Chain A
Amino acid sequence: EADIYQTPRYLVIGTGKKITLECSQTMGHDKMYWYQQDPGMELHLIHYSYGVNSTEKGDLSSESTVSRIRTEHFPLTLESARPSHTSQYLCASRGTGGTEAFFGQGTRLTVV
């Protein structure tokens, strides 16, 4: 069973606030990903990492930033939340030599 955790599961926050969505995995996977999911749309890749100190932007333009200081931890930060950031955010990881990604349960973010 995959061990990848996202906190919080649900978050309602006011416009302009800074927030950090947490993602941790205990599988020692080197590759980690953040996707944004909206109803009826593809999962959009917003950030990914190949390992410690490696971060890249994905296909979807995002105002968020990420860091990868430890293998197991890949937090996503929004410096100033806006209503357009309202979405579900999914974190995933994949190990070297592995083929499929393992997903956390997601964080549903609402910015009011």
Chain B
Amino acid sequence: GAGVSQSPRYKVAKRGQDVALRCDPISGHVSLFWYQQALGQGPEFLTYFQNEAQLDKSGLPSDRFFAERPEGSVSTLKIQRTQQEDSAVYLCASCTTGEQYFGPGTRLTVT
């Protein structure tokens, strides 16, 4: 069946621009996670949803980061007024019974 999909795969933004990254989880997966992965590092937790409820957003690095999942399926990660340090790969994962499946990621480059 279809896996987790993310769009766009690549995004170049000028410093100060807002960006929106989309995640389509595996159908029926209740849990959805967003991660940030810097070059050469493992994924770092940003936020977690169970259905439409954002249960943990402790990993969001600043109030410029905002995530939503209004209908409990598709999720959007929004970054306002992007900064160069926001450049990274943003990974989305959906989860069932402890097994977490990742999308291909969105590589964000802020110039």
Q: Do A and B bind each other?
A: no
